Amino acid sequence: MAKLPGMLTPADWEALYHQLGQIISDEPNIPTGGGRGSIEILQWLGRAEALIEQVSGIVDHSKFGTLRTTMLTATLTDAETQMRHIRGLLYTALAKAELSAPATAKGAFIPAGNSFDALTAIAGVLRECEGSVLIVDPYMDAIALTDFLPMVKEGVSLRLLASGKQKNAGLPEAVERWKMQYAQARPIELRLAAPKLLHDRLIMDDVSVWSLSQSFNAIALRSPAMVQRVGADIASAKREAFIDMWNRCDER
């Protein structure tokens, strides 16, 4: 049974905030024909409804149920109208969850088009990093170095893991220029994994792991994005897996 809002802990609110941000980021396209009852859309609606019930209570939950039923059977124009209202309920729930979440969790959700907010959120993570930092992004390109990685403190070692045979526009060249300018003040190394092996976008240091819902070169440009700290158990497994992958790749 779901907890009443008054019984939720800060950790509960943080989890709900992240889940709502992910639901908003994962919003499916509404088909022009009769495919609105697909498994993908029904699963998304089910998860969204459960979160709204948990965070916003019975009134918004009832509104959501009516909107969902209408959206699934309406004409395309009416369906898009219902989706706008559903989106409004989700953003209201997101705002409520953010207010009650710990300060460290706030700002993890980045609306579409808010590229400066994306820079600010990722910069906050990178400034926290200590020791050695591993950046994982299959589509990493020079933008990661020009826009984001200068936020890492001097003396922190950077390791970049991207996919081979992707459009890593200017990445090897940017890494070489970085080495020429910073030398050992900001050590950096690039390795490329086998094609299609990487799917995650991660920032990990010796203590924590953060997950990005999109690549550095596209984060929040066209759709909402999330930047969130990964729980301890999952973080440990990811760190082990990606360090092993790093060790099996050749330096570029």
> pLDDT tens digits, residue range 158-199?
999 999 876 677 899 999 999 999 999 999 999 999 888 899
- N- to C-terminal Cα distance for the chain? 52
Residues 190 and 236 in one domain: yes
pLDDT at 190: 96
| Phi, psi of 205, deg, nearest 5 | -115, -160
Does some domain include residue 16? yes
pLDDT at 31: 73
Does some domain include residue 121? yes
Mean pLDDT for 16-27 is: 88
pLDDT at 109: 82
Whole-number Å distance between alpha carbons of 9 and 2? 13
Residues 187 and 94 in one domain: no
Q: Quote the number of domains for the chain.
A: 2
> pLDDT tens digits, residue range 191-235?
999 888 899 999 999 999 999 989 999 988 888 888 888 888 889
Is pLDDT at 154 greater than 70 in this prediction?
Answer: yes
Amino acid at 248: R
Average predicted confidence (pLDDT) for the chain? 88
Range of the domain at 193: 107-247
Does some domain include residue 45? yes
Residues 151 and 26 in one domain: no
SS in 3 state form for 41-92? HHHHHHHHHHHHHHHHCHHHHHHHHHHHHHHHHCCHHHHHHHHHHHHHHHHH
Which of 104, 121, 144 is the last residue before a domain boundary?
A: 104
Residues 73 and 162 in one domain: no
Residues 6+ positions from 155 with CB-CB distance below 8 Å? 185, 186
Residues 171 and 66 in one domain: no
Residues 124 and 184 in one domain: yes
Burial readout 109-132 (b: 16 or more C-beta within 10 A, e: otherwise): bbbeebeebbbebbbebbebbeee
Mean pLDDT for 33-62 is: 89
Exposed/middle/buried for 70, CB within 10 Å: 0-12, 13-18, 19+? middle
Domain holding 190: CATH number?
A: 3.30.870.10
pLDDT at 98: 87
Is pLDDT at 2 greater than 80 in this prediction?
Answer: no
Place of tokens 């600010």: 120
Whole-number Å distance between alpha carbons of 43 and 46? 5
Residues 122 and 100 in one domain: no
Confidence category of residue 6, pLDDT binned at 50, 70, 90: low
Residues 9 and 99 in one domain: yes
Residues 96 and 123 in one domain: no
Residues 125 and 229 in one domain: yes
Residues 64 and 142 in one domain: no
Which of 72, 104, 136 is the last residue before a domain boundary?
A: 104
SS in 3 state form for 186-226? CCEEEEEECCCCCCCCEEECCCCEEEECCCCCCCCCCCCEE
pLDDT at 4: 60
Mean pLDDT for 10-29 is: 87
Whole-number Å distance between alpha carbons of 235 and 196? 22
Which of 83, 104, 125 is the last residue before a domain boundary?
A: 104
Amino acid at 97: A
Q: Which conformational region is residue 156 in: left (phi greater than 0), alpha (psi within -120 to 50 degrees), or beta? A: beta
Whole-number Å distance between alpha carbons of 115 and 65? 33
Does some domain include residue 252? no
Is pLDDT at 18 greater than 80 in this prediction?
Answer: yes
Degrees to nearest 5, angle at CA 125 with 165 and 251: 30
SS3 state at 126: helix
